[in-house]
Amino acid sequence: MILVTGAKGQVGGDVCALLKQQNRAFFGIDADTLDLTDEERVRAFFDAHREITSVIHCAAYTAVDKAEDDFEACARVNVTGTTYLAEACGSDIELLYLSSDYVFGSDGGEPLETDDPKTPRGVYAKSKYAGELAVELLCPKHYIVRTSWVFGEQDRNFIATILRLADTHDTLRVVVDQVGAPTYSRHLAKLLCSMIESGKYGVFHATNEGECSWFELAQFALSLAGKAVTVLPVTTEDYAAKAPRPKNSRLSKRSLDEAGFSRLPAWEDAVKEYLSHR
């Protein structure tokens, strides 16, 4: 039996929908069913559900900029909550933990290998890395999957925001010097569902294929949606977001290839598919 946390979130929602379609035995939980920061309840939950053999952990505190002022809440969910979950899984239950490109904190230009040095900057980035360490330490049967720039049908994402802003603004400022790859949550869900119960444990990177800047992504989505708006490229420094962002989010897929998992489609096709579902 697979347990999915964050079942009402972007990725967790798509994972649950796909597991259902695949007729696999699973159940999804969210903060209102089980608050992962409540140690006793987490332990009691696993005691009451001995049928759980795998967990796909999609729940997280994901408000990157808010986390800079709200560090206790972010750490409670992403570090403490993940640790309680990892403790409950122990050595018997396999745990798939979703992590982030932000753990690297890289400003270089090369694709990042899974074991490249980690210098996470900002509260959210550090909390995701601490979550990885807890999973590695406590759960031998782990899959750590780092993804980036996720967008999905829940419309709480960069593309949806840009398209919405285009209706009320003549000009948009978008960061040009952060390069990575967008990730369509439906495509990511497909990979996660093929990974869980495979027994191919390890650390993996999963994004749509190719690379672009936020500026290029905005231009591409706006032109597909037929929205005429001027997009001005700005630097990370000029944009001055509250939380620091890495300039290099290029993630190497070497370990994914070596384990025989399929890569995700090209990011341009992913954006087209997403817009066709809106």
Ligand X SMILES: NC(=O)c1ccc[n+]([C@@H]2O[C@H](COP(=O)([O-])OP(=O)(O)OC[C@H]3O[C@@H](n4cnc5c(N)ncnc54)[C@H](OP(=O)(O)O)[C@@H]3O)[C@@H](O)[C@H]2O)c1
Contact yes or no for 220/49 (Cβ under 8 A): no
For residue 191, state whether it binds ligand X (rule: CB under 6 A): no
For residue 212, state whether it binds ligand X (rule: CB under 6 A): no
Closest residue to ligand X, judged by C-beta, is 9
The CA-based dihedral angle spanning residues 185, 191, 192, 194, taken in that order and rounded to the nearest 10 degrees: 150
What distance in Å separates the CA atoms of residue 26 and residue 18, rounded to the nearest whole number?
11
For residue 9, state whether it binds ligand X (rule: CB under 6 A): yes
Instruction: Please indicate whether residue 239 is annotated as part of the active site.
Output: no
For residue 246, state whether it binds ligand X (rule: CB under 6 A): no
For residue 105, state whether it binds ligand X (rule: CB under 6 A): no
Candidate residues 1, 8, 209, 229; the one interacting with ligand X per rule CB under 6 A: 8
| Least distance CB 16 / ligand X (angstroms) | 11
Piece of 47-55, 107-115, 147-155, 208-216 that binds ligand X (CB under 6 A): 147-155
Piece of 43-51, 60-68, 215-223, 239-247 that binds ligand X (CB under 6 A): 60-68
For residue 271, state whether it binds ligand X (rule: CB under 6 A): no
For residue 195, state whether it binds ligand X (rule: CB under 6 A): no
Active-site residue set: 124
Instruction: List interacting residues with ligand X (CB under 6 A).
Output: 5-6, 8-12, 30-31, 35-37, 58-62, 77, 81, 98, 100, 128, 147-150
